[in-house]
Amino acid sequence: MDKTKILIIEDEEAIADLLAYGLKREGFETRTAGSGEEGLRELELFRPDLLVLDWMLPDRSGLDLCKQVTAQYNLPILMLTARSDITDKILGLEVGADDYITKPFDLREVVVRIRTILRRLAQVQPVAAEAAPSEIRFRDVVIVPDERLVTKQGATVELTPKEYDLLMALLGSRGKIFTRAELLEFVWGYDFPGDMRTVDTHVQRLRKKLDAAEWITTVFGIGYKFEKRNG
């Protein structure tokens, strides 16, 4: 079996080396990059399964890089930062990160966070592959689950991994009312440190990108549902 590949984008060499050494001991294959530009090159060359990304990089914000990566790749991201404010955590997660850990950190916690992300993805993907049809359609939107591709009127709609997962969660049980807590648990995992506004923000973005306000509806005081209808 191929090793899980992890790319570490971190400009502090001592931290990058510590992460690379520790993750290799846990059976992962790793590479490091010290800047955003170098990281983007390694993404193309290394094709990692997971990205560990520092918030502060010498040539650009890790937050901006996170946005760019999630727009181009279906890749889970663990962000590293010295920022501990909850608002910053929520901001990082809302632009596409899967989890967030603050410096200084215990290497054992990083390993646990990474394994949790990978385990959650492994649990979701086989179910989706088994249950999902080759195409899902509603109105002028077409979803190809095998490719995680979403089009509207034939044009590709760029969804972040979390936006796509949220859409599939709602679509997978049309007519079911999901509480915000249920959506947080399903899409972000049990230990997501954000609040319910994160779900609201992602729903608003989905509605806007897909022009789907009449499909993804609010159930006041409870949460959201995807309307069960034809067409």
User: Which residues are CB-neighbours of 124 under 8 A, at least 6 positions away?
Assistant: 165
pLDDT digits (tens, 9 = 90+) for 166-214: 898 898 888 889 988 888 877 776 555 556 788 888 899 899 999 999 9
Cβ contact 89:66 at 8 Å: no
Both 179 and 112 in one domain: the answer is no
pLDDT digits (tens, 9 = 90+) for 79-134: 888 776 666 667 777 777 888 888 888 999 999 889 888 877 765 554 444 455 67
Distance (Å, whole) CA 85 – CA 36 = 23
Distance (Å, whole) CA 170 – CA 21 = 40
Q: Which two tokens stand for residue 89?
A: 């955590």
Cis ω for the linkage preceding 48 (within 30 of 0): no
Domain boundary among 110, 126, 142: 126
Residue 221: Cβ-neighbour burial (10 angstroms; 0-12, 13-18, 19+): exposed
Cβ contact 7:23 at 8 Å: no
CA angle 42, 45, 50 (to 5 degrees): 60
Distance (Å, whole) CA 189 – CA 167 = 16
Task: Indicate whether 205 belongs to any domain.
Answer: yes
Task: Indicate whether 43 belongs to any domain.
Answer: yes
Q: Which two tokens stand for residue 189?
A: 């995992």
Domain boundary among 126, 150, 165: 126
pLDDT digits (tens, 9 = 90+) for 26-54: 999 999 999 999 999 999 999 999 999 99
CATH of residue 98's domain is: 3.40.50.2300
Please state the domain count of the chain. 2
Selection from 218, 219, 215 nearest residue 227 by Cα: 215
Task: Indicate whether 231 belongs to any domain.
Answer: no
Sort residue 73 into left (φ over 0), alpha (ψ -120 to 50) or beta: beta
Both 148 and 98 in one domain: the answer is no
CATH of residue 183's domain is: 1.10.10.10
Cβ contact 201:102 at 8 Å: no
Both 82 and 10 in one domain: the answer is yes
Both 42 and 138 in one domain: the answer is no
pTM: 0.63
Domain boundary among 72, 102, 126: 126
Both 60 and 154 in one domain: the answer is no
Both 28 and 56 in one domain: the answer is yes
Dihedral angle computed from the Cα positions of residues 76, 114, 86 and 91, in that order, rounded to the nearest 10 degrees:
-10
Domain interval for residue 49: 5-126
pLDDT of residue 127: 46
Both 120 and 13 in one domain: the answer is yes
Residue 192: Cβ-neighbour burial (10 angstroms; 0-12, 13-18, 19+): middle
